[in-house]
Each structure stands twice: as C-alpha cells, then as structure tokens.
Structure 1
C-alpha cells in the first residue's frame, strides 16, 4: 500500500512517500480502507518527537481516519499512528459508526478537534451561561468549533483571535461577537478592550509563550485558562501559585487521550453530541483543504506556517 513514512525526526522534510506492506490486524482489531485521513497540528509534533507522548521510529503519521471496514461499515477511527496510508488498523473501542448525513470532513473535524473543543469548554473551563469566552486561533480546527459551541451553550460574548482579516471574518461568520488580531503586542489590553474594558472569564489557548502569559493576565476573578497546545513552540512563564491565589484564577491543561478512560463514556458522549448538533444545523465543520498522499509534506508546511483555516484532510488515493 502507499503510505507516508518517517524514519528520522524532523520537520516536513522527513515525510516520505513509500510502498509498505498492508497492516495486519490483530485479534479483534479492525482493518479500514481509508477514504480520508485527518491532518492535525499534533502530527507535526509527532514527526519531530516533541509531542506529549514519545514517538517511536519508523512511523506512519496520522491519528484519525474515516473509511470502510471489510464488512462495509462506514466508520471513523482514532489511531495511535498509521493514518497517512491507504489502509489502517484500529481498536474497536476507538472505532465509531458515522451517521448518514455526516460527510468525511465533518467526521474528521469532530473526532479530535471537535471533542477537544467540547472537553475544553465542558470539563476544563466549565463554561456557564453569560460568561465571556476567548478563543485563540479561532479559524483553526479546534477554534472554529469552539466558537460555535460557546455560542450554542450560552456564552455571553465570544472573542476570537486570528492572524489575518480572512480568518477573523470567518470567526465572525461562525458566531464570534468580536475578532482581535492575534499579533497584538499587548494581548491583555486587546482582550479587555474587546470586552468593553472588563476582564474575561475563559480563555482557550494553544499558542504558548507571550500570548499565554498575557491571556492569563486578562482573566477576571475566578477566570479559567484552558491550555491544550503550544503552536509557537515557546514555553509560557512558570505558573506562580501565589499569583493564582491573589487573582482567584485557574490554569488547566488538557490532553485528549486522558478523556478516553473517564467513567460514563465522556468521549463517546462528546462525539455523539457533536454529530447531533451538526445534523441539526447548529454547528458545522470548516473545510480547510484536501491534500493527496504525495502532498503530506506541503500540508505540514502549511500547518506550521499557521496560514491554514479549518480542517485539513488527506486523500490516500492520490
């Protein structure tokens, strides 16, 4: 089968197109003929071995696919790796039937990025009706869904940040009340200005560095910052517990795999609710572009440049 192969750690240049043997499913595993694979920012970290979980070589990247099983079921699956290929193997517990009316891009938008947005707002930030929510990178895969969920769940004001006018316009189309340039030199002041001079209740952040530090400074008493990535590859300042105490603010980290073992099938509940919201026209996926297998390197370059919007997918048939 055709696949993307990584044999040394690095940037997009380490992604190579090769022919590999078909994966052999183990007992009770599911073999999937891949129609589309999702492309996530985490894939770029996996390729350079800077992800939260260590990467082992050799590697076929890709943690999510939609396609058909041997018996013809149309399924969505989460994988540890192996998605950038014509065929992939998944565990039954991480394989989900895709409802009629949900297209491939929507399904792939929800399996990681949609559930991440759901968990950030529900479990990490505990959004309450009327609160002000800041969504950084609001035109991206997680951000574009988080903007819509925050509005659907009663946020009083949603402030989106993005780096270009096109991205800010997209965030406004998705329901954001205000859109702020993410390149603002003083993000604290920019967020307060966007909130009529008041501090904000919730910030969803995957940027890191100065943006995170200045976003924490913009929090109101009992405000929460939910941190789920570091696209800038810059560490924020160390957390000073005394500062959190004196300002009554919370910083929460969130990594999606920790949701898989939660009691009550929280992950499955999130995915089902997202499907229902989409089928009822309450939220929508934002297609960010389709790449062929031979264009995986180009896709990673686009992601790292932070010039993309919405959900990127890979078609292993071309």
Structure 2
C-alpha cells in the first residue's frame, strides 16, 4: 500500500511517498480502503517535531479518514464489508489503506460524500467541545470566534448558532474570509489584522465583552482577547498558531471572575462515550443540512508536500482534503 512517511523532522520536503505491505487485521479490527483524508495543523506540527506530545520516528501522519470496509477480524460485529465509515485515529491516515478498531468507526450516511464526512472529526469535535464541554456556552450568550473562516471556525460559527448563542462575533484576516464567516451565520465581522480590533469587539457588545472566546493564535491576539472578556467570561485556548507563547499572570482574572481553559482533542478521544456520541451528532447535523462543511480544496496524495505548504501559508479557506 502507499503511505506518506517522514523519517526526520523538517519542512514539507521530508514527506515521502513509499510502499509498505498491508498490515495484518486483528480480530477486533477492520481494514479500510481510504477514499478521503483530512489535513490538519496537527499534521504539520508532527512533521516539525513541534506537536503537543512527542512524535516517534518514522511517522505516518493523518488523523481523519473516510472510506469503505474491505476486510475485518473474526470478532468484529455490527459492521460489514462495503460499509461506508469514518474514523478519528492517532496516526497512519496518509495512506490508501488503514487498520482501525471496529469500535472507533462512525457510519457515513448515504447522502454524505466521503470528502464532507472526513471534514468533520477533528475540526467538528474541536468546535463542539470547545463551545459546549469547555466553554459551557449558554443560550443567549455572546461568542467571539477567531479565524472564523478556518476549519474549526466555520463549524464553530454554525454550532454556536445551533447551541443558541445570542450573538456571534467572527474575526478573520481578509474580506473574503469574513464574508465566508457571514455566510456561515456570524452576526458581526472583525478584521483582526487591523489595529484596535479589540476595541471594535467591545463596542459591538456595548462595553460588556464576550461570554465565550475561541483563541488559537497566541501572542498579542491572546492578550487582546482576554481584554474582550465579559465578567464570568471563558476563553478557551486550542492552539498557538503564531508560535508566540504568551506570558500571562493568572491573578488578572480575579477582578472579573474570568476563566482561561485549555482544550486538547486527544483528551476527548480518551473518553469514547463522549467523543463517539458527539461525532454521531455532528454527522447527523451534516446529513440534515444543519451544518455545512467548507472544502478548501482536494489534492492527490502525491501532492502532500504542496498541501502542507499551502496550509501553513494560511491562505486556505475551509478543509483541505487528500485523495489516495
């Protein structure tokens, strides 16, 4: 089978397409012929040796896969060959086949294409649990969503609406990206590359600030976002895309009873009942048309280095997909 592997940390050029033997199928596992692969910033961080947890070498990146079951272990129940499924895995997704534990599979409804299904697990689960589990969003509250045209952002805007947010403030870096956020359901638009964007957020809220904020940039954006929080406001951090790790004094939060909360999807994956139920709910939202996935482009597996380059250029909108 074909896989993309790296044996050293570095730029996109360390990604190599190689041939490996098909792995053996365990008695509780299935073999999936992959039809679509989700590309994530976690993959680029793995490649650079800068991920939250250590990355062993050699390594095959890839967290999200969608495809068809073509083989299964003797103790597997509840699924059959030919079933359309998706899965969130620790690694190994950049390939044309993958072995997955049967209890990790989520069926793909007939009306949902592989590309749209694979756009859901990482960004969908992140947006869902950042808003609901960590941010504890309540009906009528105001939400600030940074990078609202990105993979997490476009889903967070839609989910915030479903969860009853009273006002959704979306930020992005270009008019085109802000327009996409508006199409997804954002109420107010702010360009965070403009000086004083945080003042505009406070003006929109009448000086109160926002109840929940989603932040993944770091640096000055983090500090300015803290200054946008309302009393009892919650800021959920799920990345440091700028690479600038901010320094912060927690005692600053005491005056207005505010919270800063960290989110890491791998912890959700350790709670199968939690992540499987929410993933099923998310794919049902897609099937019902309640949320739309935005595909920023599909590329053959052989163009993986180019795909990493364009993802890290931050010029993409929506989800980038690899096709074996």
The TM tier, using the shorter chain, reads over 0.9
**Alpha-carbon contact 1:17-1:294 (below 8 Å) kept:** yes
Partner of 1:229: 239
Matched, 1:98 2:111: no
1:73 is aligned, of 62, 80, 83, to 83
Partner of 1:19: 19
Shift of residue 21 of structure 1?
2.2
**Alpha-carbon contact 1:180-1:194 (below 8 Å) kept:** no
Distance across 2 between alignment mates of 1:92 and 1:294: 28
Partner of 1:47: 47
**Alpha-carbon contact 2:171-2:190 (below 8 Å) kept:** yes
Instruction: Please report the TM-score for the alignment, with normalisation by the length of structure 1.
Output: 0.95
**Alpha-carbon contact 1:75-1:97 (below 8 Å) kept:** yes
Partner of 1:126: 136
Matched, 1:3 2:3: yes
C-alpha offsets along residues 149-198 of structure 1, whole Å, 9 cap, x if unaligned?
Answer: 11122111101111111110000011001111121333421321333443
Partner of 2:177: 167
| Bigger mean CA offset, 152-161 vs 192-201 | 192-201
**Alpha-carbon contact 2:106-2:280 (below 8 Å) kept:** no
Describe how 1:123-272 pairs up with structure 2 within 5 A.
123-238=133-248, 240-262=249-271, 265-272=273-280
Partner of 2:75: none
Distance across 2 between alignment mates of 1:187 and 1:234: 19
Q: Which runs of 5+ in 1 are unaligned?
A: none
Aligned residues: 314
| Bigger mean CA offset, 45-54 vs 88-97 | 88-97
**Alpha-carbon contact 2:87-2:106 (below 8 Å) kept:** yes
**Alpha-carbon contact 2:148-2:181 (below 8 Å) kept:** yes
Partner of 2:299: 291
CA RMSD across the alignment: 1.4
Distance across 2 between alignment mates of 1:236 and 1:188: 17
Partner of 1:111: 121
SS in 1 for 2:119: helix
Q: Which runs of 5+ in 2 are unaligned?
A: 71-80
Distance across 2 between alignment mates of 1:114 and 1:146: 8
Partner of 2:61: 61
Instruction: Please report the TM-score for the alignment, with normalisation by the length of structure 2.
Output: 0.93
Partner of 1:305: 313
